[in-house]
Amino acid sequence: MSPEGAGETAKGQTIEEKQYLVRFNADTKSHLHVLDPEICMTKCPDKICTIFCPADVYKWEEVRMHVGYEGCHECGSCRIGCPYQNIKWEYPKGGHGIVFRLG
Ligand code: SF4
Ligand code: SF4
């Protein structure tokens, strides 16, 4: 395991701090949907979406999955990473979503 604490990057910045390097134009509706919350609860003890998502979008809150879609980096990993294909993933509607600042 890396010496950094959970959620910290190699330079000691948290994911939240790194998020300030990008901009989001969040839609009012989520482009990410957990299809069957019961599957998360009963069949997926490791809740691996909370691990593989690079933007910490998925947070397990005792009995439900909180989906912070506004911070999604649109990498598409959750489309293939959920072992139960339990996440419906779409691109945000045109004009919404992440805006990378280059340079
Ligand atoms: S990986 Fe899929 S089944 Fe598991 S908690 Fe996340 S959304 Fe639910
Ligand atoms: S597309 Fe990538 S950043 Fe967005 S929720 Fe899925 S894993 Fe996280």
Q: Tens of pLDDT along 25-40?
A: 888 888 999 999 999 9
Distance from the alpha carbon of residue 12 to the mean position of ligand 1, in angstroms: 28
Q: Tell me the domain boundaries of the chain.
A: 15-100
Find out whether the beta carbon of 77 lies less than 6 Å from any atom of ligand 2. yes
pTM over 0.95: no
Tokens representing residue 102 in the block: 């280059």
Average of per-residue pLDDT across 6-20: 65
**Cross-strand pairs, 61:** 64
Average of per-residue pLDDT across 37-63: 96
User: What is the DSSP pairing of strand 87-89 with strand 97-100?
Assistant: unpaired
The CATH number assigned to the domain with range 15-100 reads: 3.30.70.20
Contacts of 53 (CB under 8 A, 6+ apart): 77, 78, 81
Mutate to test the pocket of ligand 2, among 15, 74, 90 (most ligand atoms within 8 A of CB): 74
Closest alpha carbon to 53 in 16, 90, 78, 18? 78
The residue contributing the CA closest to ligand 2 atom 6 is: 78
Contacts of 90 (CB under 8 A, 6+ apart): 31, 32
